[in-house]
Amino acid sequence: MRHPAPPKSKTDWLRRARAEGTPFIDGGRVTFLWRGRRAPQLVGDFMHWGREGQAPLEAQPAGSGLWTSVLDLPTDAYIEYAWLVDGRRAPDPFNPRVTANGLGEANHFFYMPDAAPTPLARRDRRVPAGALSREVLPAGWLQVRGRRTVHFYQPPTADPAPLLVVFDGQDYLRRARLPVLLDNLIAQRRMRPVALALVENGGPAARMLEYACNEATLAFLLYGLLPLAQARLNLLDPAEHPGAYGVLGASLGGLMALYCGLRAPGVFGRVLSQSGAFVVEGHPFVVWDLIRYEPHWPLRAWLDVGRYEWLRDANRRLQALLQPKVAGLDFHEYNGGHNFTAWRDDLPRGLAALFPPVVS
């Protein structure tokens, strides 16, 4: 592929930046531009945010007070990044597109030419919408701080529906727009109607404890959340439809989703794990042993992970271990990183695979 010649002068660089914004995207070549007296560094999905010891990219001079970094990326990638000046984050003045990174800061982002936000995350007023409600559920000793906020979604159908329990419910509600995704997928007959119980986490410290294959969290779901969901929503009876319910999570939530499926497959027979944190800082969690020492699991699972993630190799290894032991497993890699935008854009594939339309 031929790439356009770089601008010949500082004026040309700035003129293009003001007209197009940055980074400049020419086919698969991406040019980041910085204006300042000192050379900045570039961090982002493309170097795993330094999680595997990769150093920030050093910008190269491109004229008086201008600096660039150039990468070749897949044309269907979604990328988040940040500039560092003297080791501190600095906003990119040529790219106003920012998104929360979930850690109290904002990343700049861009889509490559063959990628785009999923249109299923946009509300269509012509599409029937499910009903949302909110409850604060006491959980006693089973949860840190003793209670959790849960958002219930009843799909637009009169028939009983399976339930999908969602970890990090506040993020899947607001950042992934999961109820809107479901409304659109159901209306397009790409999946069956499914009810939701979006469970908010208890903050960073509680989340690490409760999502690391925690039996108390599983007990909270089985004995606290499910009875309330069955009272609030029109659900299939899991006793008559074993394994009809599902569980969804990302990162540590993806680990906990798989753990719930392995420990209670008669209830949670469908597992949707996005970028599951199956190994953290070299520590493999107990899901590996549960899979290894059981000959068969009555599960259907969907695992996805970004190619720009430090968790990719662990997901590949777990997929290879799990594949021959479950009723069905789909594994999908996408050109993106560890963030809710990438998870949102890939999520419709997993939902449609695990909850296909019912053929009458």
Write the secondary structure of 48-104 as one string of H (helix), E (strand) and C (coil).
HHHCCCCCCEECEECCCCEEEEEEECCCCCEEEEEEEECCEEECCCCCCCEEECCCC
Which SS3 state, helix, strand or coil, does residue 119 take?
helix
**Residue pLDDT tens, the chain, 360 long:** 344 445 556 678 888 888 989 999 999 999 999 998 888 999 999 999 988 778 899 999 987 889 999 999 999 999 999 999 998 999 998 999 999 988 788 999 999 999 999 999 999 999 999 999 999 988 777 777 778 899 999 999 999 999 999 999 999 999 999 999 999 999 999 999 999 999 999 888 888 899 999 999 999 999 999 999 999 999 999 999 999 999 999 999 999 999 999 999 999 999 999 999 999 999 999 999 999 999 999 999 999 999 999 999 999 999 999 999 999 999 999 999 999 999 999 999 999 999 999 876
Contacts for 291 with CB less than 8 Å, ≥ 6 apart: 262, 297, 318, 321, 322, 325
Confirm if 28 and 75 have CB atoms less than 8 A apart. Answer: yes
Tell me how far CA of residue 147 lies from CA of 135, 199, 222, 225, in angstroms.
10, 11, 15, 11
Q: Are 190 and 354 in contact (CB under 8 A)?
A: no
Provide the pLDDT for residue 14: 86
DSSP code of residue 306: E
> What pLDDT shows up at residue 343?
98
Q: What is the largest CA-CA distance in the chain?
A: 72
Q: Is 70 in contact with 25 (CB distance < 8 Å)?
A: no
Residue carrying the six token digits 């490559």: 112
pLDDT at 5: 47
Residue 89: predicted pLDDT: 94
Structural domains of the chain in order of their starting residue, each with its CATH number: 10-111 (2.60.40.10), 119-354 (3.40.50.1820)
pTM, full prediction: 0.94
